[in-house]
Structure 1
Amino acid sequence: MRKIYLDNAATTQVREEVIVKMQEALGSCYGNPSSVHSFGRTAKTTIEKARKTIAKYLNAHPSEIIFTSGGTEADNMVLRCSVRDLGIKTIITSKIEHHAVLHTAEELAKEYGIALQFVKLDIYGTPDLKHLEELLQEDSGKKLVSLMHVNNEIGNLVDVNAIGKLCLQYKALFHSDTVQSIGHFSWDVQETPIDFLTAAAHKFHGPKGIGFAYIKRNIGLKSLIHGGAQERGFRAGTEPIHNIVGLEEAFKAAYDNLDEEKAYVTELKRYFIEKISAAIPGISFNGQSGDLEKSTYTLVSACLPFDPEKTTMLLFHLDMKGIACSRGSACQSGSDVGSHVLSEILSGEALKQPSLRFSFSKYNTKEELDYVVGVLGEYSKG
């Protein structure tokens, strides 16, 4: 059976060169980085080389890169430690953030009694920056703004430069969950006023279980996980060298090939929108995902004009045809609860219709997209 993977926003295929580097590290770089002998020093040097590589591409200082188990831990680290260590009294976010941010902020409101405020969204799910400024002006208490650069379900691009400037103007801290952004868009933390960003390697053809937080120097955060002095005291625990090497290699490959791969994947998205729109009259695209200028080039969220009865079997049907995509985010796939993102921006009638997220990578082809459009077109008529 033909197998077509269009769920790259959930996770990506690991690059072959990344696998090779990780295998080499597993075989030869097995010393504990905290040990003082040559095996430990070699491991430590390998980690610091990876840290410098990532910092170089972000225009950051190596000490500002802290390795974590992924984006969720990095988001928890930034939000939780900011409240605990920096005297944050208010977190301003949106109702369509990833649950790694939303649920963490909700728990912090319960534990510390901080205020949790939500910036208004337009009909497409884009934050209203005028409302954000109003929230920043409300009182003199210390605030943290947490707004993602690329929404993981509908692909909206948020103007992080404008948000960063507002935060700077009103002396608020700015965190962005860039899990869907890093590896797909260029970043310069010296040009964009930002205090924290978070990333996960498996979103840009690296291994799962490794990511990082960018934490601006001398900001005052303390350790989230205790038990050792690893990661400059921010995160205790013996470092997974093979995963860090894999992260470094995937990061390098993503940015060294960014222009070429971005152009290729952008063309795939344009082609898919054109073909599926012609095959299924009445289809609509959620958020800004149908706009090549206002959304990431890596995904499309489509609302299909099918009878509600067809909804429950649609993903099963696609899977039987060898097609992998998702309803909303992968984090929701095992739950009966609908997408919190789509619930914020779609009408009740639209929510009854199936919405699918198709996300693309360098490994996809137009021929694959033709097949997917054909299968969906047949299903719509059945």
Structure 2
Amino acid sequence: MSSIYYDHAATTPMHEDVIRAYVEAASAGPGNASSLHALGRAARSRITAARDTLARCLGCEASELVFTSGGTESDNAALFGAAWAQRDKGRTGIVTSAIEHHAVLHACRQLEKQGFKLTVLPVDGQGRVSIADAKAAIDDTTAVVSIMAGNNETGTLQPVAEIGEWARLHKAAMHVDAVQAFGYLPIDLSVMPIDLLSLSAHKINGPQGVGLLYVRKGTPYQPLLHGGSQERKRRAGTENVAGIAAFAKAAELAVADRDGRVRHVETIRDRFVSELTRLIGKDAFVVNAEAAARLPHIANVSFAGIRSENMLMNLDLSGVSASGGSACTSGSLQPSHVLQAMGLSPEIVASAVRFSFGLGNTSEEAEKTAQIIATIWARLRN
């Protein structure tokens, strides 16, 4: 049975050039970048080169980048690191949105338990935060504002530039989770009003287990991890040299061909939706957040009357990999907090399936998947 992988928002296959970069770095010897001998210096050189590459991709200074273990650590380090530092200045407000990844929401709840005042902004039916609501919530007591660039379940884009400008006026640190958006949206940190930015390699055809946190020069920040003096004392722990080298290669490839990546996944997404419409009719399903400006590689689709776990099980048996929502909760039967925050009906929420596209996918696969869904839909509806 052939396999169709439509879960790129969860994790992506590694690009063959990225694999080569990883193997080359991993085969270079047992180099600890903190060691002073030749092997250690070679490892340090690889990390420096990777940091320089990523800085060029992001439009920032290399010294502003901190390597982490992934998106979750980057989100936590940004929130706790900036909030703790800002509390020393008398700032205790945290502002975020109801549709953030749990790496942000759960961290914010922990900060609330530590005495911070948490404001969770609502979203509209397309999953978008209101700029007016954000401005009303941000004031001179706000420590950190955390709004994601593009949602990992629906793809909805957020007005991070406008909110970041307002945060800057009030000297609040602006954090953006760009884990899902990097590689699809242009990011130039030299001009964007962003103080902290989170990225993860495995979302852009890089390796799992390595991420990045951008900390703008001058941003109040305290390290989350303590130990050695790695990453300019901002993140203790021996660096993942091979992973970092591969991350830089993945980022370089993603940024160089960003327009091509966007066209590729948009073509597949649009073919998939059009074929579904042709085969089962436009009234048989709903593309959630379809009217919003969205990331191009995500289609969150609800098939009313068919629970998402039933659709996913049948898709899996037919060789199609998709998801019930966020990768970190897709194994759970809990309803999507994102779709609930959008005010969608329980039936729509309970029947949602996330299809996400990327490297290796084709329009022919999109047509085949639509045919498979049509067969499953007819069987389960009857």
After TM superposition, the score normalised by the length of structure 2 is: 0.95
Deviations 1:276-314 (A, max 9, x none): 122232111112xx34x7001011001113x24x54422
1:100 to 94, 103, 110: 103
Q: Answer yes or no: is 1:67 the counterpart of 2:70.
A: no
- Report SS of the residue matched to 1:2: coil
How far the C-alpha of 1:346 sits from its partner, in A, is: 4.1
5 Å matches for 1:1-382?
1-87=1-87, 88-111=91-114, 113-137=115-139, 140-281=140-281, 282=283, 283-287=285-289, 290-291=290-291, 294-305=293-304, 307-308=305-306, 311-351=308-348, 353-382=350-379
CA distance in 2, matches of 1:141, 1:334: 39
CA distance in 1, matches of 2:69, 2:361: 28
Structure 1 residues 367 and 296: alpha-carbon distance in aligned structure 2, compared to 1, 3 A threshold: same
Structure 1 residues 353 and 98: alpha-carbon distance in aligned structure 2, compared to 1, 3 A threshold: closer
Structure 1 runs of 4+ off > 6 angstroms?
Answer: none
- Report SS of the residue matched to 1:330: coil
Letter in structure 2 aligned against 1:168: R
- Structure 1 unaligned blocks of 5 or more: none
Alpha carbons 2:272, 2:369 under 8 Å: kept: no
CA distance in 2, matches of 1:31, 1:354: 49
How far the C-alpha of 1:204 sits from its partner, in A, is: 0.4
Alpha carbons 1:91, 1:117 under 8 Å: kept: yes
CA distance in 2, matches of 1:312, 1:209: 28
- Report SS of the residue matched to 1:56: helix
CA distance in 1, matches of 2:133, 2:51: 37
CA distance in 1, matches of 2:222, 2:308: 47
CA distance in 2, matches of 1:311, 1:233: 45
CA distance in 1, matches of 2:349, 2:226: 46
Alpha carbons 2:129, 2:159 under 8 Å: kept: no
Alpha carbons 1:33, 1:239 under 8 Å: kept: yes
Structure 1 residues 311 and 173: alpha-carbon distance in aligned structure 2, compared to 1, 3 A threshold: closer
Structure 1 residues 98 and 349: alpha-carbon distance in aligned structure 2, compared to 1, 3 A threshold: closer
Deviations 1:233-265 (A, max 9, x none): 011111110100110110111111112222121
How far the C-alpha of 1:348 sits from its partner, in A, is: 3.4
Alpha carbons 2:7, 2:321 under 8 Å: kept: yes
Letter in structure 1 aligned against 2:111: L
CA distance in 2, matches of 1:274, 1:169: 45
- Structure 2 unaligned blocks of 5 or more: none
Alpha carbons 2:175, 2:197 under 8 Å: kept: yes
Q: How large is the Cα RMSD of the aligned pairs?
A: 1.4
- Taking every aligned residue pair, what percent have the same amino acid on both sides? 35
How far the C-alpha of 1:353 sits from its partner, in A, is: 4.6
- Report SS of the residue matched to 2:52: helix
- Count of residues in Structure 1 that have an aligned counterpart in Structure 2: 374
CA distance in 1, matches of 2:51, 2:215: 13
CA distance in 2, matches of 1:67, 1:311: 36
CA distance in 2, matches of 1:121, 1:349: 17
Alpha carbons 1:332, 1:338 under 8 Å: kept: no
CA distance in 2, matches of 1:33, 1:319: 43
Alpha carbons 1:47, 1:245 under 8 Å: kept: yes
How far the C-alpha of 1:184 sits from its partner, in A, is: 1.9
CA distance in 2, matches of 1:352, 1:99: 18
How far the C-alpha of 1:130 sits from its partner, in A, is: 0.6
Alpha carbons 1:5, 1:325 under 8 Å: kept: yes
After TM superposition, the score normalised by the length of structure 1 is: 0.95
Letter in structure 2 aligned against 1:99: H
